[in-house]
Amino acid sequence: MCVDQGTLTIWFLAIYLISQSKEGVSSLKLQRFLGISQTAAMRIKHKIQMVMKFSDDSKRLGVFVQVDDVYWGGKHSGGKRGRVAEGKTPFIAAIQRNKKGHPMYIRFSRIAGFDSNNTKNWGGKHLEAATVIVSDGLPCFQNFNNQGHDQFSIKTTGRYGDPDFHVFDWLKVIGNVKNSIVGTYHVLNHRHLPRYLAEFCYRFNRRFDLQRLLQTLICHASQTAPIPERQLRLAEAWW
C-alpha cells in the first residue's frame, strides 16, 4: 500500500484506530484524531479497508460453512418488502464453523443477484474443495453440489420463532453489523459497501488474537500493492 498522504505516524495511528474500534471509525472522527482534512481521512480509511478486504478474500472458507442470502437497504416508501424489494444490495453471508460448531471465520460478499451463475462464481473464489455447506431453501445454493461440495438445504419457513431451532442463530451477527455501520456512518454509498463489510469481517476473524491484530494489519498493508485514487473511486468487483 503506497503511503502518499501524511507521515508514517499518521498512517500507523489510523491503522490503530480502525483496527481497534469495534463499531468502526468515521472519516470525520479520523479527521479530528489525525489532524488532517476529511478528504485525506476518507482516502486513508478506504485504503485500509481495501487492505482488509484483499487479505480476507485471499483465504478460502472450508470444511463446514453456512451461507445465507442477505440484503442491504430498507424498504422504500410504497415499495415491496423482502427479496423482491427495489434498491437493495444483495450479498452472501457465510460463516465457517469448527468441529464443535463454534463460528471461526465470516465472509460478506456483494453479488449481482442470487442465481446459479453468481453463486457458482462466488463458490469458485471463496470456498475450498469438498466443503460441507448448509443453507436455507433458496434454489441457487443447490448449485454448490455441481462444484464438488456437499450442500444441504434446511427449510426455515415458520421456524425462526422456534426456541429449539438454532441452526441459523449466527445470523444475529448480520443485524449487529448493520446496526454498527448505520450508527457510525449514517450514510453509506452502496458501491463501496464491500469495504465496510470487510472491515467488520477482518476484526471478527481475528478476535481470538487481538494482541497481534494491529501487527497483522500493518504487515498486510505493507504487502499490498499501491491503491491509486482512481481505484478508490470505483466500485469493488461483485465477489
Residue 156: inside a domain = yes
Amino acid 217 reads L
Condensed to tens digits (0 to 9), the pLDDT of residues 45-93 reads: 999 999 999 999 999 999 999 999 999 876 555 556 555 566 789 999 9
Per-residue pLDDT at 136: 92
Q: Could you tell me if residue 233 is inside a domain?
A: no
Helix axes 8-20, 38-57, angle to 10 degrees: 60
Query: Exposed e or buried b for every residue in 30-52, given b needs 16+ CB within 10 A?
Result: bbeebebeeebbbbbbbbbbbbb
Number of domains present in the structure of the chain = 1
Closest Cα to residue 89, out of 106, 67, 104, 74? 74
As beta bridge partners, residue 72 has 89
Is 25 inside any structural domain? no
pLDDT at 23: 87
Strand partners, 231: none
H or E element: which one contains 118? helix 116-126
Sheet holding 89-97, edge to edge: 103-110, 89-97, 64-72, 132-135, 150-153
Angle at 156 between CA 155 and CA 159, to 5 degrees: 125
Q: Which domain holds residue 135?
A: 64-174
35 inside domain:
no
To which residue does cell 462464481 refer? 121
Distance of CA 160 to the CA centre of its chain: 24
Confirm whether 116 is domain-assigned.
Answer: yes
**What stretches in the chain show pLDDT beneath 70?**
1-6, 74-86, 160, 237-239
> Is residue 208 in some structural domain?
no
What pLDDT was estimated at residue 1? 54
Classify residue 114: in a domain, yes or no.
yes
Considering the domain boundaries, does residue 194 fall inside one?
no
- 218: cell is 500493518
Torsion of CA 225, 228, 230, 233, to 10 degrees: 80
CATH number at 131 reads: 3.30.420
Phi, psi of 4 (to 5 degrees): -115, 0
DSSP string, 17-31: HHHH-TT---HHHHH
pLDDT of 156 reads 81
State the Cα–Cα distance between residues 179 and 95, nearest whole angstrom: 19
